[in-house]
Amino acid sequence: MKDIWANLDYDELEAVRDEKRKKSLFLTFDCYNTRAYGDRVECAKGRRLQNNSYDGSMGLMGVLRGTTSSACRSCQYYEGD
């Protein structure tokens, strides 16, 4: 299994997320209902984060980089900062 934590620049990831926050109020990364399982992220409320995924989950690295699911943008259970 590939080590996804190797060679991560945490300052760069934070800068990318901050830039994405300026464009969208609902980042998947910021929601308290997201749960990471290995290299995937799922919604604790059961929402499908990605329709083209077999289980509706999103890739962890995409979420860390500020990718936002449309399910999060329209979710009534969104709980973020």
Residue whose tokens read 């830039």: 19
First to last CA, the chain: 33
For the chain, the structural domain boundaries read 24-81
Choose among 26, 14, 39: nearest CA to 73: 26
Total-model pTM: 0.67
- Give the integer Cα–Cα distance in Å for 27 and 73: 8
Higher pLDDT, 73 or 48: 48
- Give the integer Cα–Cα distance in Å for 26 and 8: 24
The predicted-structure confidence for 1-53, as pLDDT tens digits, reads as follows 455 556 667 788 788 777 777 766 677 878 888 898 888 999 998 889 888 88
The predicted-structure confidence for 55-72, as pLDDT tens digits, reads as follows 889 998 888 888 888 888
Strand pairing class (58-59; 34-37):
unpaired
